[in-house]
Each structure stands twice: as structure tokens, then as C-alpha cells.
Structure 1
Amino acid sequence: MNDTTTPALPPPLDREQGIIAFNRRVLTLAESESVPLLERLRYITIVASNLDELFEIRVAELKEIASSNSPLAAGARHSIGNLAASARELVERQYRVLKHDLLPALREEGVQIFFPADWTEPLRAWAHEVFMREIEPLLTPIALDPAHPFPRISSKTLNFAVELDGRDAFGRRPGLAIVQAPRVLPQAFRVPPEVTGVPHGILLLSSVIKGFMNELFPGLTVKSQCSFRLTRNSDLFVDEEEMTNLRSALSDELGQRPWGHGVRLEMTADTGSEVSERLRKEFDLDEDDCYFVDGSVNLGRYTKVIELVERPDLLFPPFTPSQPASLQKKDLFSVIAAGDVLLHHPYESFHPVMDFLRSAARDPQVVSIKQTIYRTGADSVLMESLMEAARAGKEVTVVLELMARFDEETNINWAAKLEEVGVHVVYGVVGHKTHAKLALVLRREPEGLRRYAHLGTGNYHPRTARLYEDFGLFTANEEICSDVHEVFRRLTGLGTAGGLKALLQAPFRLHGTILQAIQRETEAAQAGRKARIIAKMNALLEERIIEALYEASCAGVQIDLIVRGVCALRPGIPGLSENIRVSSVVGRFLEHSRIYYFWGDGKEPLWLASADWMERNFFRRVEVAFPLRDSTLKRRVLEEGLLNYLQPDTAAWHMDSAGNYRLGGELLSPEHDAQQRLLRKLTGRD
């Protein structure tokens, strides 16, 4: 097809509905009998956590637009209504799977969560002791009357609304009381087998409080009780024009996060109409913002159940990540100097990355270390290595992204610790999150100073490196290392953007270079030459990229897009995107790497990157895409990171032109699962 006249473009698929669709795919794993039971439960909690973030960030943003005078207000209200209907359907499915599938299946395996209706006398006595010893001293019931106004409810906390009857010691006739469960309380308790008669008995905090609610109101009658949970707007706002110190401004803003405007109210199904209406009005919410659930509010707390149940056979089989033989040598720098080294996590160990920084901290020849940090966790070996290097007198610079969503407090704490030992801590560029994954070591050698770099698609986070699929590259290539140095110079200092020889950086050349690469494939197809595009990412939303892909498809370019999450492009539309295929792989590991591959008249340029194809990544973040120069490594990424997922029998979700997904292949089947293929290949695991 050589006619490149693009027909009228269809409207892009809705971002919020794309998020819902992704969580439907995740929930399918919770329904699959091929997934171990406790892992199925974990997928329930993952969906719950994803929905929390959807409401506290995206729905909160839509609500602000809907209540404004913006011309977008009507569209925002429409999106909120559609989203509420889709979210309600997803929530009902979550609870149905939990109640009718997972809890009965767990009981058959000797794992039982005991709700008050199931309590025997011995279990009630045990629960009462726990209540009196560990819970009751921390509870402050508040009866609502003119002297006791409705308490301030923190976001995403467990609360109870209790209807009471009778008179108290002062002769007052209470009506409604509120009981808040402090966050410091355990979310679940392991019960001894001799008490329950089952090997693995669990009590949820909500059940224990509910079971002994009457003890909080002596002399009164508890007529009814329900639990509820309020989700508030959790986005942070920092006025860049008024701000003089990002860390100080952000610290002040974090204190307000739990108290933003309400956006969602979850209530147990036994909530009476008068109580639910009182709560709804108290939080200034619409009926569409209220969710009545058939079970405990906040399914995320079942994560604690997974931790308490010691049944490895109900989890994914463990595996030991492999490590390239070359990296097992003591002198890591000589290995990197001899040639680039590629790591594919989690199949290959993240330890070499930690060893790289640990070696740099302890090597007397290393004089300088620079690193970007987006997410790393509250307990990080890498950060300890950076502090060790600073104590040893090395020049250490960390570009720490304070605005990494929901990791802001952790990163602020690290900033203080790093500065205490003399690390130069900077926060990148205001208005542009530093999302690039870079580390640079400068070492004094006989020939002079030499640079060594690590570049990755994922965070410097040892825990998530065992769960997220990502690539990382060690290199001493002077061109790449020089570019990494230049990126750090831009982040820590001032000056115009100089030309980079190898790297693509957002917000400068990344977007334009990708458009040019798509255009070259389009022109090749028009000229009758071979043309091919394969790209993998977490999300595809940027309009100009989508339009360019449509034009390439019209020219006959064969395009495969592996998009784990939200994709606004519509594949398979005759005359527009019939040469585009979109698939999504959801499995044991979170597909997280970003790979851009083009045929390029046989040169096959391939970049690994930190950036999804989204407007924010191209224009409001500092991102880096780096090329693979070694043909062997390039072929390996092509085969492991792209073609492995495109095999005809691979279990993947395939998107149609309406945005619906159809599953092809059997989930987690050894024959069809792309991740299991890589496990067998890279770890030797059967």
C-alpha cells in the first residue's frame, strides 16, 4: 500500500478506561487456576492498589477540572461518570473472585480468614485478648454531638460508623459514633493452630474491632456498625514561581497529602442508608463516588495475609537469578573496560549493579561517582555505598528526584542522610522530573582518567529488580560515557544544551528522533523497501507519535507495539492502522523495559530507554534513551525483549480497533508464557 493519505483519525482511546482495561487483565490472573493461590490473592491486592492511585491522582484531577470554568469541564464530568461505572464493575468482580473463588480454595488448603460469624468460643477468647492488649488502648471512639464534631478522616484509613442506643453516664442519648483505626495497628494477625483447628488461621484487624465494638461503648447498645474508607486527592502541588527551596516546599506539601478533597468513599454493604447518606454529605461526595463492597474495605490489606501464611507451595516457585560469568571476576572495571555487559532483570541478578557502586566506593582509584535516583526504597544498599564513598573522600553527586510520586518522603529522608556525609545532592530541573537511570564512575588509571557508566530502563531499586522486567548496560564506551557526563552537567549546572553524540535526551532530541525514525521507515515502505518497527513500553499516549505510526501503517510499514498498560492508538482499522498490532503481556513479572527498534535499511537501530511514549515523558521529564552498539547485545535484546513476546503461540492480550483486548494463548503455561521461556533460558530453571 503506497498511498500515504491518512484518513480522518479516530478519537484516541480514553486514558482512564485504558487503566481500567489494564486492571481487568491483571484481575484475570487472580481468576486463573494456573496461578498459585497466594499469588492470585496478590493480584487482587495489586488491582486494589492501582485503583487507589487512579482515584487519588487521576480522578482527583478530573474532579478539579469538572468543578472549574474550564472548557474541558463538561468532558471531565463525562469521563468521571464513565469511569465510575467501569470502576464499580471492576470492584464488584474483585470481591466476587475473592469471596467465591479464592477464600474457599484457600480454606481447602488449610488457610482460613476467620470473620466474626465464623468464630468459635476459643477463637473469640483469643481475639478478645488481642483486642484488649494491642488494639483497644489505641482506639478513641468519638460520639457525634454538638460538642463532638465529625472527626477529620485521613485518606485511606480504616474507620467505623457505629449507630448506638441508650444513655451514657452524662445522660446523653448518642446516635452515631466514629471509630478510627490508627495506621500503627497490624492489619492482620496469625492465630495459633490449636485455637482455630486449621494450620493457617488469620484474623483481619477490621474483624477484631468489629467483633468487640460493644466494649468501646459500655452500657450502650450497638444497633449497627459498618466500616468505611475515604480516598482523598493525594497529588502534590508545588508553585514553581513562588518556590525558593524544592525540598522545603515539598516537605510542607506532604503534610497536607492525607487531607485533600475526598474523591471516593468505600463502605461495607451492611451500611444503612441514613449512615451512608451522612458520610457522603460529610465528605461532599456524589452518589457515583460511593462504593458498597461485599467484604472488608481495602483489599490491599490482604498483602499482610500473604506475608503471614508460610506456604511456599502456594507461591510462584523461587528462582535464582543468573549472573554473566565475566561479572563474577573480582575486578569489575576491567571486565567493563573489555566490552559492554548487558543485564536482563529479573532473570539476571541485580547484584552486579550494587557491586558496581560498592566497588566504586571502596576502590582507591575511583575519584568521582554520579548517579540519578528516582525510586530506591527506604533501605538501600546502593545509597549506603554512595555515603560510604563520600566518607572516603570521593566526589559524590546524586540527582535525587523528590517528586517521584508516593516516594517523596523516602527521597527527602535520603537527601538529608546523603548531605550529612558530604554528598552533593541536587533535585534536577524544576518542572521536569528526572526519570533517567544513570550512574557514572570516574577512575584514575595509568592512561589517565577513565569513565564507566551504567544505564538502565528501570529504577535503582534492589527489591523491585526482582519483580520488574528491565535491561541494564555497563559500558566504558567513551562516546556514551561522555554523553552521560554531559547529561549530569545539564542537571547539576546551567548552560545551553550541547549536542549528544550517542544518547537521546528528553525534553530535547528524544521525541524528534523517534518521529524521524518512524518517518524513515515510512519513506522506505513508500519506496518499496523493507520497513519494520517494533517498540515496547508501558504506555502509548503521545498524539504526534500515534499520528506518525498511522501514516507509517498506511505506507505499508509492519508495526508491532508491546504496550503493557494504556494505549490510545487504535490498531487494525482498515486503511489506517491495518498494519499495526498491539499486544499486552501481563504475568508473574511486571513488564517494565522500554525498547525502540527500527529496521533502518538493515542498520537496525535499537534504543533502550527510561521513557514511555507519553507527552509527559517527552516534554516534562528528563529521560534518556541509549543505543546498543554491540551487535551481539543488540540481537539479544531484539530476541529476548521483543521477538520472544511476538511468537504466535505466546500468551498475550491482543487489542482490537475498539480498544478491547482478547487473550491469545494460555496464561502462565510453560509452552506459551514468554516470561517462563526467559526463566528457562537465562536461569536454567526447569
Structure 2
Amino acid sequence: MPQAPQLLCRESSLLAFNRRVLAQAEDPRIPLLERLKFLCIVSSNLDEFFEVRMAYLKREWRNQPNLRFDSGNTPAETIAQVSTEVRELVAKQYQLFNQILLPELAQHGIHFYRRKQWTCEQQEWIEDYFNRELLPLLTPIGLDKTHPFPRLLNKSLNFVVELDGRDAFGRASGMAIVQAPRILPRVVRLPENLCGGETGFVFLSSIVHEYVYKLFRGMTVKACHQFRVTRDSDLTLEEDEFTNLRTAVQSELRDRDYGDAVRLEVVDNCPAHITEFLLQQFDLTENELYKVNGPVNLVRLMSVPDMLALPDLKFPPFKPYYSKRLRKAHSILDEISKRDILLHHPYQSFEPVVRFIEDAAKDPDVLAIKMTIYRTGSTSKLAQALLAAAQAGKLVTVVVELMARFDEANNVQWARRLEEAGAHVVYGVFGYKIHAKMALVIRRESGSLKSYAHLGTGNYHQGTSRIYTDFGLLTTQRDIVRDVNNLFMEITGLGQANKLKKLYQSPFSLHPMLLKNIEREIAHAQAGKPARIIAKMNALLEPTIIDALYRASQAGVQIDLIVRGMCALRPQVIGLSENIRVRSIIGQLLEHSRVYYFYNDGAEDVYIASADWMARNFFRRIETATPIEDPDMKQRVIQEGLMLALSDNTKAWQMDGSGQYTRIQPQDGGEVLDLQTYLLNQFNCQ
């Protein structure tokens, strides 16, 4: 019997993560509207899976069909494997939606009315809505020699219409395409008086199906079927093909929505001759056809919970803890000057980080601000503060990562506005994404310059800071702020890499540091000393790190890995990884922080970092890892970031050597611990 490869398939691991997310939608202990959100999150994740990972696999299959991935499979074998897994996941998803969530929503007075269920009064209102809101915006395209199949946007909702008869010009192609503009809502809320005082929604697709005949006067609509195509959305730029990265990215973004097709979704009652016709138009095969029992885009149902003021069906709202000392402080800079500040978001407010930049922008003694932007949001108080600082004449340097996937357009806009305000905007180093989360403020104090830094595990994004768990450090430590300034000079200027005193960076010193620390734990274990590694991250894929962890396990090092998403390492395999345990936490908040812990003979070395343990983070990105040396702060990171996650028996999943996950259950009569709820209570986030 052939030996199993030592690394798991990353795409299968990503789908396993989405099965864990779908389990939240299945869990009756979770509020009903939150379960609907989890269902939508799975659909959104699958969209990205096809846009990025499946598109990549197809390219590799075309260009290197004999390539063997780390899992041992070829591109074609991987595509076949994950396609089967996706179909099973999608079938389970729609079964949950149709057979469980919709009936439970109806029990709470929330109805999604199908066409056959419309009352006469509802139908009258819906027809009027169609005439007012849809008819002026819909543009049917009859297919004939002068009207070829249209160029359809990525993930847009479309309808293929079969027709009978001839139009005013004598044309009788028998087929037309109707595109639903993206500005239209995919679910329409009905007036309560038409729903017996309850809440009623109608799918846009149902409205178009019912009244599509109005677009084809004098002809007979034989059938109407909704469909959606997913396209390759990865941006690719060659360094010798452009002179300005921002304009090049803008140009590429215009074409992103029209990349090569990778998936066709149709309703399951769509006849074979229609699906064959559509597959031909998109140059897809039957293997890339996905039939669904319901709306072809469940993602757009994400808007429904926000339309409903039903707190009993949602997670209880919480207010991040914001200490009175920081809230009342005249300047956050003055507070940092007194002592370092460690923040654990979203349990602790992100506002001190925002004020760090805002106060620096207003402080007449601040001379310069430097900051990285990977994801920041379309309406960002941080970016506004940088604009204000630049307009006030301060030296503002902003490193904007224009290639942050699916945030490119937003970052391009902020880069343009910052440039116009007089900031120095740098796009980093071509070929290396700027993923480090760091900011530096330089202030004149008592005749000399003093520096303040922020380093974190999460993006400078006020929206995600409310739902992502992350650590951040505000500090004036001399070696750290000097290292941060050196990193900015590396990114914005030219020259050899600086030797840093405290920080570790990719692509130079971070990967070697991790390997060195793993080897040190191996040496301690071999010497009969206690040896332990704990690490928390979003993904673990890099082969040399995994190989080092395998060797550490075999030497007797106790290893606990908290990996939210993809994990290619096989834990608990006899002779390979008996001493490695992998768990994943899936809950109300998205576990995003990266924390590394090495026992080091009792010294307990702890780092917070921006990097997951993936090849891209180590070798194709600029990342940072920051040591936490203050004893109290170190213990906070260990306890809040690691130990509670290892004790969680409510939201945690344990991984086995085949890549399967089992949900951890509290022992009968034992303590129940949900780390997120525990921390929300600890920080009194009511």
C-alpha cells in the first residue's frame, strides 16, 4: 500500500474550512439570522475559491499538466478531487437553506415568497414594482448574427430566455439574454400589510421570471432560466510592461470582471440544451457546470439580517472596551510615552489606534507619519487623518499595497487622494506584497526627535476590527521604533536589508528565525528538557516549516497549532507527528491574530506577527514579527491568544491526520468554555 503524502491538499483543506463554517449555519444554538449569514459566508468563500484557487489550478493544468503539487496530485487530479468536494458542499448548503433555514425563518414571521405563493394583492404590488424599478433598467439582448452572445460580468445575475414568434423586424432567433444590473437588490421586501403584518421578501429572480414577457412584446416566452458565471479574477502584472503601478492596476481592474470563465451556475431545472448552449458560450465543460436548487447567488442574502430589527435572532451586540485612561487622554502619544499599550481587538477598542494617527495629525510637534495600508475600507478615519496631516504640511509617507486582493480598487482611490494631498505614496517593492501592519510617528520633544510605533496582526480597517480578533502594540521602545523606521526606508528607498535588533521580517529573517526556534526546541527535547511550541495563525502550508515541526514532534517537542483555515500538516500520525495537535476555532468573531510561542527552557519567547505560515508570507511578502517582552503583556498574549483557544470546548474543532475535523464537545458535567464569549465578558463588552 503506497504511503500517504506528508502534506495535505491545500484546496481540500480550504473546503474543509468552509464545511466548518457551514456547520455554524446548521447549529441551532446560534441565532437564526446569524446562521443565514454563515450560509452566505460559505457562498462568498466559494466564489473566491473559484476566482482564485480553481482558476490557478486550471492555468497549471493547461501549462504544466504533469506538475505534482506537495500533496502528490497533478492539477487534473486536484481539480477532480475538489470539484467533487465542492458539489457535496453546495448540495448540503442548498438543502440546509431550503429544508431548514427557510421553514425556521417562516416560523419567526420571515417569509420568502415563491411565485406560486403570491396573493393577488402581492402580485399587483410586485408588478407595479417591476414596471417602476426594473423595466427601465433591463436591456434584453436577442441573440442573432448582429447580436452575438454578450460579454457578461463576473458573478452577475443573468437570465437566458427562450422565445417563440417574430419581432417587429421579422427576427426569430428564439433566444435572448437579460442581465440584471448589479445596483438592483437581489431580494425585495414587501410591505407588511401585504404579509399579514409579518415580514415578506421576494427574490429578484422570481420577479424577472414572472414579468420577463414584458421585455418581448408580441412574442411568447417559452422559458426563463437564471444563471451566473464565475471568472478568473487574479490580477497578473509583468514588471517590464508598465511604468506606473497604480495606472497599471487600474487598467487590469477594468478587465478583471471579464477573465476566463471557471464555473457556470444554473438552476437545477434548466434543460440540457440550454446548459449545453451556455457552456459552449463560456468555453466550459460539463465538469464546470454546477446546478443549484434555489437562487444562483446566495451571497446577496447577506443584506437580509441588516433589514430586520430582530435582536433575538442575532448575536447580542457588544461594545469594545475602551479604558477611561485612554478615552480621556489629551493625547494618545502622551499615554504611549508613559508605557507601552497592548490592545486585543475587538475585545478592546480599535479607537486608540485611530487616535494614534489622528492625534499625530493634529499635534504641532509631530513632524512625520509613516504607515502601511493593506486593507483600510472605503470610508476610513485613519486615511482621513493621513490626508489631514499631509494637508497640514507634515511629512506623510504611506505605503499602499495596490495588489491587496479584491481591495485593489479601493486602495487605488486612497493612493490617488493621498498623492493629491501631498503625501509621499509608495507602492512597495514589485513582486513583494506589503502585508506588514505598522505605523510610525516622529515628534519633536525637548529639542530632540522621539518615535512612536504601532505594530499589529490585523489591517488598519475599522470595519474588520469589530469582527476580527487581532493584537496590536503601541510602543516607544528604542530598538523597535528604530527597526520600524529602517523597514520603511527599505521599502521606500534602495539598498541592502538592514540588520534589525528586535523585529523579524519577511522575506529575509522571519523564516530563518522560526526554523532556528524550532531547532532550539528540538535540542531542548533531546537534552531531556521540557520543550513546547504553540502557534496561532490563519493558514499553515509552507513545507520546510512543516518538515521542521514533524522533526520536532519526533524529538518529543509538544506542539499545539491553532489554525483557523488551511492546514497542510498531518497531525497525530504515528511515527510522523504524534506530538502535534491542530485545532481550528470558528465562532462569532473571525480568529485572525498570528501569535508564535516557544518555551525556550522557560524563557517563553512570544511574538505577534502579520504573517501566516505560508510560502507567500515568508518569501513573496514584506511581513513583521514583533517580540512581546514585557512580562505582563507577554502573559496576556499567552493567556488570551493561546491558552484560552486550547481550552475552548465549544467553538473548537480537532483535526486528524487525514484532514478531517471533529467538533470538540465539553465533557459531561465539565466546564463549558467559549473563548470569544469568555473574553467579551472579561473585558465587559456589554
Shorter-chain TM-score: what band? Answer: over 0.9
Matched, 1:231 2:230: yes
Find the aligned partners of 1:10 and 1:339 in 2 and give their Cα distance: 49
Instruction: Give aligned pairs, total.
Output: 677
Local SS of the residue matching 1:84: helix
Residue pair 1:111, 1:198 contacting (<8 A) in 2 also: no
Tell me the equivalent position of 1:287: 286
Q: Is the 8 A contact 1:112 1:198 kept in 2?
A: no
For 1:299, the equivalent position in structure 2 comes to 298
Could you tell me how far apart the structure 2 residues matched to 1:326 and 1:503 are? 29
Quick check: 1:187–1:304 contact (8 Å CA) kept in 2?
Answer: no
CA–CA separation in structure 2 for the residues paired with 1:158 and 1:227: 7
> Helix, strand or coil for the counterpart of 2:239?
coil
User: How far apart are residue 205 of structure 1 and its match?
Assistant: 1.7
Moved over 4 A (4+): none
Mark the CA change 1:670 to 1:420 in structure 2 (over 3 Å): closer, same or farther: farther
Return the TM-score normalized by structure 1: 0.97
Paired with 2:607 and 2:441, the residues of 1 have a C-alpha distance of 22
What one-letter code is carried by the residue in structure 1 that aligns with 2:524?
Answer: A
2:26 corresponds, among 26, 31, 49, to 31
Contact 2:644-2:675 within 8 A present in 1 as well: yes
Q: Please give the secondary structure, in 2, of the residue aligned with 1:142.
A: strand
Most deviating of 573-582 and 69-78: 69-78
Please provide the CA RMSD for this pair: 1.5
2:178 matched residue in structure 1: 179
Task: State the distance in 2 between where 1:420 and 1:78 align.
Answer: 50
Equivalent-residue separation in structure 2 for 1:308 and 1:464 (angstroms): 20
Q: What amino acid sits opposite 1:352 in the alignment?
A: P
What is the CA-CA distance between 1:447 and the residue it aligns to?
5.2
- Of 412-421 and 190-199, deviating more is 190-199
What does 1:326-337 align with in structure 2 at a 5 Å threshold? 326-328=325-327, 329-337=329-337
Q: How does 1:241-640 map to 2 (within 5 A)?
A: 241-328=240-327, 329-446=329-446, 448-640=448-640
Overall identity of the aligned pairs, in %: 52
Distance 1:170 1:541 in 2: 60
Farther off after superposition, 347-356 or 168-177:
168-177
Partner of 1:148: 147
**Could you tell me whether the CA contact under 8 Å between 2:570 and 2:656 is conserved in 1?**
yes
Q: 1:40 aligns with which of 31, 35, 44?
A: 35
Please identify, of 144-153 and 78-87, the stretch whose mean Cα deviation from structure 2 is larger: 144-153
- CA apart distance, 1:166: 2.2
The aligned counterpart of 2:46 is 51
Deviates more, 1:169-178 or 1:30-39: 169-178
Counterparts in 2 of 1:241 and 1:174: CA distance versus 1, 3 Å: closer
Given that 2:65 and 2:76 are in contact with CA atoms closer than 8 Å, whether structure 1 keeps it comes out as: no
Aligned partner of 2:75 in structure 1 is 76
Pairing 1:120–2:119 present: yes
8 Å CA contact retained: 2:187, 2:203: yes
Q: What CA distance in whole angstroms lies between the structure 1 residues aligned with 2:625 and 2:177? A: 52
Q: Which has the higher mean CA deviation after the structures are superposed, 317-326 or 66-75?
A: 66-75
Alpha-carbon distance in structure 1 between the residues aligned to 2:401 and 2:242: 16
Checking the alignment, whether the CA contact within 8 Å between 2:226 and 2:296 is kept in structure 1 is yes
Go from structure 1 to structure 2 and tell me whether the alpha carbon gap of 1:670 and 1:47 turns closer, same or farther (over 3 Å shift).
farther
Deviation of 1:648 after TM superposition, in Å, equals 6.5
Deviation at 1:244, TM superposition (A): 1.6
Within 1, Cα distance between the matches of 2:645 and 2:405?
30
Matches of 2:546 and 2:107, distance apart in 1: 49
Q: Is the 1:540–1:567 contact (alpha carbons within 8 Å) kept by the matching residues of 2?
A: yes
C-alpha displacement at 1:332, in angstroms?
A: 1.5
SS at match of 2:444: strand
Structure 2 residue runs of 5 or longer lacking an equivalent are none
Shift of 1:174: 3.5
Using the alignment, how far apart are the partners of 1:523 and 1:118 within structure 2?
70
Residue 133 of structure 1 aligns with which residue? 132
Specify the alignment match of 1:61 in structure 2: 56
Q: 1:186 deviation in Å? A: 2.2
Give the match for residue 109 of structure 1: 108
Deviation track 1:508-566 (CA, whole Å, cap 9, x = no partner) reads 00000000000000000000011110000000000010000001001100000000000
For residue 288 of structure 1, report the CA deviation from its aligned partner: 1.2
**Partner residue of 2:215?**
216
Q: Contact 1:111–1:309 (CA<8 Å) still a contact in 2?
A: no
Letter matched to residue 249 of structure 1: A
Question: 320-329 or 579-588: which moved more?
Answer: 320-329
Question: Structure 1 residue 650: deviation in Å?
Answer: 4.8
Offset at residue 199 of structure 1 (A): 2.3
CA offsets per residue over residues 633-654 of structure 1, 9 Å max, x none? 0000100000001117453110
Give unpaired runs (5+ residues) of structure 1: 1-7
Answer with 332-341 or 464-473: which moved more: 332-341
Structure 2 CA distance, aligned partners of 1:640 and 1:188? 40
Question: Is 2:19 the counterpart of 1:20?
Answer: no
CA distance in 1, matches of 2:364, 2:516: 45
Secondary structure, in 3 states, of the residue corresponding to 2:96? helix
Residues 366-416 of structure 1, C-alpha deviation per residue, up to 9 Å, x if partnerless? 111000000001110100000011111111000000000000000000011
Deviations 1:113-164 (A, max 9, x none): 2221221111111111111111111111112122221111111000001111
Structure 2 Cα separation of the partners of residues 395 and 466 of structure 1: 30
Quote the residue 1:162 is aligned against: 161
Aligned-partner Cα distance in 1 for 2:437–2:427: 14
> What is the distance in 2 between the residues matched to 1:603 and 1:143?
73
Letter in 1 for 2:28: E
2:243, 2:445 → 1: CA distance?
41
CA contact (8 A) 1:651 1:666 kept: no
Separation in 1, partners of 2:6, 2:603: 35
CA separation of 1:373/1:104 partners in 2, compared to 1, >3 Å: closer, same or farther? same
Which residue number corresponds to residue 87 of structure 1? Answer: 86
Which TM-score applies when normalising by structure 2? 0.97
Structure 1 residue 54, shift from structure 2 partner: 0.6
- Deviation per CA, 1:226-248: give whole Å up to 9, x if none: 10000011111101133221111
Query: Does the CA-based 8 Å contact 1:457-1:608 persist in structure 2?
Result: yes
Residues 670, 677 of structure 1: 8 Å contact kept: no
CA distance change for structure 1 residues 346 and 76 in 2, over 3 Å: closer, same or farther?
same
